[in-house]
Amino acid sequence: MLHKIIDVTEVTIRFSGDSGDGMQLTGTLFTDVAAVLGNDFSTFPDFPAEIRAPQDTVSGVSGFQVRIGSNDVRTPGDFCDVLVAMNPAALFANAKWAKPTATVILNADAFEEKNIKRAGFTTDDPIKELNIDDRTIIFAPITTLTKESLKDSGLDMKTIVRSKNMFALGICFFLFNRPLQPTFNYFERKFAKKPELIAANNKVLQDGFNYAENIHAIQNTYNVKPAKQTKGVYRNINGNQATAWGFIAASEKSGRPLFCGSYPITPATGILEELALRKDLGVKTLQCEDEIAGICTALGAAYAGSLAVTTTSGPGLSLKSEALGLAVMTELPLVVVDVQRSGPSTGIPTKTEQSDLSQALYGRNGECPILVMAARSPSHCFDTAFWAAKLAMEHMMPVMLLSEGFLGNGSEPWRIPKMKDYPAIVPPVVPANDTDYFPFIRDAERLSRRWALPGTPGLMHRVGGLEKNNKGSVSSDPLVHEQMIHERAAKVAKVADYIPPLKVVGAQDGDVLVVGWGGTFGHLYTAVQHMQAGKKSIGLAHFDYINPLPKNTADVFRRFKNIIVCELNNGQFAAHLRDKHQVFFYHQFNKIQGQPFMVSEIVTAVRKLL
């Protein structure tokens, strides 16, 4: 029987299995091939905090969802068209993410009575229990077939069984008419020193592909054509990598060496790891004894003239609060990256959220406003980091860059920019022996102080957490204190003159303005685009700058009858908007489940207002 090849514009695949089943790698390799074929894509790794939770339990299930398309793909998809589940627990945890028509690929070997029970099924028939249409199930004995495939490989049984994810990948490649060569190339690079593993992985992948072709259970396979993308050279990039590289770019542009003081924390660690690799570009990283040392070493480096960065996630940000206040007081350039995760406290460490916004805005003692920015997609982290560093150095202030677990781990194709297209960064470094230099005398336009670097003759001065007058002397004069508070706040507010105006996607005025910020952009954008076909006029205003807000914010809000603020928290940005622009009424749509929005949820929420 010849199968039919059907063209589809986009398709969502979800790989799931035990934490040790290699699902993240499988998903990444599938994505890499999509990239090479010119598909647009968006990924969503969804994994547990435990490195190896008890086998075959739901708590150990690791998932990786990817949407590939020949159109503009902005989200990893709400529900999947193909679900790969390597064991009953993965099926149990992920069946809810599969469309009713989804193809479900199951590792039959893992569906033993014991495992079915461990997964939490109450009957011995998971398929029936979950009410899955069995016409769309490929029940393949993946472990047995992998063992058979590699029986002459000379590899030990543990290594053989571990290759079963590549068998599953082979099945998926058949299903989507993907070539195997790019993955063969990957094995060759990855296992350059272990040729036996290259041969073994190639064989398992090919056998998985052939198996799918031979069983004739698959009547249709799918073809996703290349997306119409702007000409250029592309790469796959995740948010943490893009953040790290954005800082390196700012360091190159400004000529200030990059220093990152940090402490490992999920899901921000990737930034430190990426920067640690870049000794070749002179990046200095210091893995500190704790979060506080992370920001304090960075602040010391900032004083000494570095582009200083510290990276963390929510609980770490709590620990950095006091030192961040010191950065505000000493008016030193510093970028704090918070890759937000589910809180409070340890919360759900590997799951995404936007619930650190209030902490970012207000989480310090005293009158202590700071510049707060947010990235909207994995690749957008590059520009956000670049601009955070530029504004920090040129305006002499700490900047909070809010990323999210969803962005840090998620990836998308990125048209590689050229550094010559990026603006210069010119920090206000004081020349030697400038007799007019005083630590807190301000520039008339930006209201920022200047940067006098230790080692420079004739500029010796002291900074610190104690209140000082403009000349830099410690002062507890009540009026000096009030004046300095106003000056520091005015400096932050002044940044509004240097940031782009708020833009509206979709209808420019009318019924509903969807308002968002940060990593929900893809979902909000897709939902708003989807609703453009209707009769009602719906626009999207997505904020990259949280404090200060763009100057035209009220002008945009005024043009719509309804405003709905959508965010992955309990309404923190809505509260901020109510504080800054009190004349408007703000509806809210909130989700606090550790999961990104679904496009369908947003559409439903907006329609309720119509």
Partner 1 sequence: MKYTAQDFKSDQEVKWCPGCGDYSILAAVQRAFPEICETLGYKKEQFVFVSGIGCASRFPYYMDTYGFHGIHGRAAAIATGVKVANPSLTVWQISGDGDALAIGGNHFIHAIRRNIDINILLHNNQIYGLTKGQYSPTSKLGKVTKTSPYGTVEHPFNPGELVLGARGTFFARSIDVDMKLTAEIMLASATHDGTAVTEILQNCVIFNDGAHTAITQKAVRDDRTIILRHGEPMTFGINRDKGLVLDGLQLKVVRIGEKGITKKDILVHNAEEPNPGVHMMLVNMQQPDFPVALGVIRAVRDKTYDDNVRDQVLRVQTLSDIKTVDDLLHSGTTWEIR
Query: Quick check: 436 binds partner 1 (CB under 8 A)?
Result: no
Residue 84 parent element (H or E): strand 80-85
Which lies closer to partner 1 via its Cβ, residue 89 or residue 328? 328
Which lies closer to partner 1 via its Cβ, residue 460 or residue 533? 460
Other Cβ atoms within 10 Å of 362 Cβ, number: 13
- Does residue 267 have a cis bond before it (omega within 30 degrees)? yes
Which lies closer to partner 1 via its Cβ, residue 472 or residue 548? 472
Contacts of 388 (CB under 8 A, 6+ apart): 246, 335, 371, 373, 399, 401
Among 5, 441, 474, 610, binds partner 1 (CB under 8 A): 474
Residues 219-258 that bind partner 1 (CB under 8 A): 226, 229-236, 245, 248-249, 252, 257
- Piece of the chain touching partner 1 by CB under 8 A; list 412-420, 530-538, 574-582, 585-593: 412-420
Question: Which amino acid, residue 36?
Answer: V
Closest CA to 42 of 599, 588, 609, 607: 599
Query: Quick check: 38 binds partner 1 (CB under 8 A)?
Result: yes
Q: How far, in Å, CA of 117 to CA of 94, rounded?
A: 16
Query: Quick check: 171 binds partner 1 (CB under 8 A)?
Result: no
Q: How far, in Å, CA of 23 to CA of 547, rounded?
A: 39
Q: How far, in Å, CA of 293 to CA of 329, rounded?
A: 18
Q: What is the CA radius of gyration of the chain?
A: 26
| DSSP state letter for 523 | H
Q: How far, in Å, CA of 265 to CA of 311, rounded?
A: 9
Query: Quick check: 20 binds partner 1 (CB under 8 A)?
Result: no
Among 96, 193, 418, 535, binds partner 1 (CB under 8 A): 418
Nearest distance, CB of residue 66 and partner 1, angstroms:
16
Q: How far, in Å, CA of 218 to CA of 366, rounded?
A: 65
Other Cβ atoms within 10 Å of 74 Cβ, number: 21
Which lies closer to partner 1 via its Cβ, residue 326 or residue 528? 326
Query: Quick check: 419 binds partner 1 (CB under 8 A)?
Result: yes
Residues comprising the chain, all counted:
610
Residue given tokens 């259970």 in the structure block: 217
Query: Quick check: 417 binds partner 1 (CB under 8 A)?
Result: yes
Query: Quick check: 69 binds partner 1 (CB under 8 A)?
Result: no
Among 147, 225, 461, 530, binds partner 1 (CB under 8 A): 461
Question: Which amino acid, residue 506?
Answer: G
Nearest distance, CB of residue 325 and partner 1, angstroms:
8
Nearest distance, CB of residue 473 and partner 1, angstroms:
7
Query: Quick check: 455 binds partner 1 (CB under 8 A)?
Result: yes
- Piece of the chain touching partner 1 by CB under 8 A; list 71-79, 82-90, 265-273, 280-288: 280-288
Point out which residues bind partner 1 (CB under 8 A): 32, 35-36, 38, 226, 229-236, 245, 248-249, 252, 257, 259, 261, 278-282, 284, 286, 288-290, 292-293, 296-306, 308, 322-323, 326, 330, 415-419, 453-466, 473-474
